Amino acid sequence: MKKEYKYASIFFAIIAVGIMSISYFYDEVDLKRNTTNDITTLDKTFLRTAPGMKGISGYINTSVEEIDQNIEGKVVLYDFWTYSCINCIRTLPHLTAWDEKYSEEGLVIVGIHTPEFEFEKEYDNVVFATKKFGIKYPVVQDNDKETWNEFQNRYWPRKYIADHEGYIRFDHIGEGAYAETEKVIQLLLEERSNAYGKTIEKKELVNLDEFSHATFRTPELYFGFNFAEGRNQLGNEEGFSKNKIVDYRLPETFREHYFYMDGTWKNNNDGMELISDSGKIVLNFNAKQVNIVASENAMLEIEYDGGKISNEVKGLDVSEDGTVNVSEPRLYNLIELEQEGPHEIIIHVKTPGFEIFTFTFG
């Protein structure tokens, strides 16, 4: 009988996983049904209209009075982003270029800033980021994910494009597909001009360099116990301990794609905070690019493959002496390589209070 129960449990577990997978698949199919592969379609029966923006807590480059008026009768690109997300950051030069190129022809870009971490909810932080990245189009703060949920979104970044009648005609998840996206913008602007009895000049596509990802890279690593649930890659045997202060000690060996802590750290919901006077983070990774999202004033020393980090591999935020000055909550670029490969990075933290939220890679 015990064997029968065992096999029955396995059978039902397989069925449960299958149901979850099918449900997820059909959620995506249903979502894609709201857009069309035939972008020139005249039959919009099965297309949904862009939902209104709800729960907005802040307005940048616009106001609560202006936003709806500005998108009325326009082709609207809704960009879901958050300012410390490296994938979002890489798309911004294309968005700002499209805004400059097509805004006078009827395109409105709306950046829907939906934060991943608590510090990204701060209005001043988002304002600083929009200025840093040269964003002049409207940005709204969706701090409670109400607009995110209205769009049935689950990804950063994600772009939805609605035509001048408000129907969602295209959406894209993640980086890339820039030429495809711009061609959709051009087509929908042409539709709009024809509807209003006008003509617009055909323009060349924006030509910007696109980031080339490593073929095989370490996945994003989270330091917050809530974010790491289901994807725990903290290698220390002490593990996560919800809202507790933990003394971490480094093991003798390290697994690739796992991060290891040394020192006394507080386990927070979305990151880890250094309590001791100094600490250390060790990671064996495979990638071309390494970034961290961090906050609080702190000085970091970067060690790479057993020695001082060289100028050839330093990221944008690493100074000549191999240190990183963490001065505001944001993403910091630590390593930039020509070729992907397995390497080790050790971050020596010299300042208590330092907080780290995630490693991201390219």
Q: Among residues 224, 79, 213, 92, which one has the least CA distance to residue 153?
A: 79
Separation CA 347–CA 324 (nearest Å)? 10
Write the pLDDT tens digit of every residue in 56-67. Answer: 999 999 999 999
Looking at residue 213, its amino acid is: H
Q: Determine the average pLDDT of the residues in 103-130.
A: 98
Separation CA 129–CA 64 (nearest Å)? 20
Separation CA 97–CA 178 (nearest Å)? 11
Separation CA 322–CA 300 (nearest Å)? 8
Q: Determine the average pLDDT of the residues in 228-244.
A: 95
Q: Which residues pair with 170 in a beta bridge?
A: 161
Q: Among residues 285, 272, 217, which one has the least CA distance to residue 239?
A: 272
Q: Before 157, cis peptide (omega within 30)?
A: yes
First to last CA, the chain: 51
162 φ/ψ angles, rounded to the nearest 5 degrees? -110, 140
Separation CA 141–CA 43 (nearest Å)? 34
Write the pLDDT tens digit of every residue in 238-251. Answer: 999 999 999 999 99
Residue 36: is its pLDDT beyond 60?
no
Q: Rounded to two decimals, what is the model's pTM? A: 0.88
Separation CA 105–CA 108 (nearest Å)? 9
Split at pLDDT 50, 70, 90, the class of 327 is very high
Give every CB contact of residue 89 below 8 A, 6+ residues apart in sequence. Answer: 83, 133, 331
Q: Which residues pair with 293 in a beta bridge?
A: 331, 358
Write the pLDDT tens digit of every residue in 84-115. Answer: 999 999 999 999 999 999 999 999 999 999 99
**Three-state DSSP state, 330:** strand
Q: Quick check: 305 and 337 in contact, CB under 8 A?
A: no
Q: Quick check: 347 and 335 in contact, CB under 8 A?
A: no
Q: Given this model, what pLDDT does residue 8 score?
A: 47
Picking from 39-48, 154-163, 182-191, which range would have the lowest pLDDT averaged per residue?
A: 39-48
Q: Work out the number of other CB atoms within 10 angstroms of the CB of residue 303.
A: 16
The 8-class DSSP code of residue 86 comes to H
Separation CA 245–CA 250 (nearest Å)? 16
Split at pLDDT 50, 70, 90, the class of 267 is very high
Burial class (CB in 10 A: 0-12, 13-18, 19+), 20: exposed
Separation CA 289–CA 337 (nearest Å)? 6
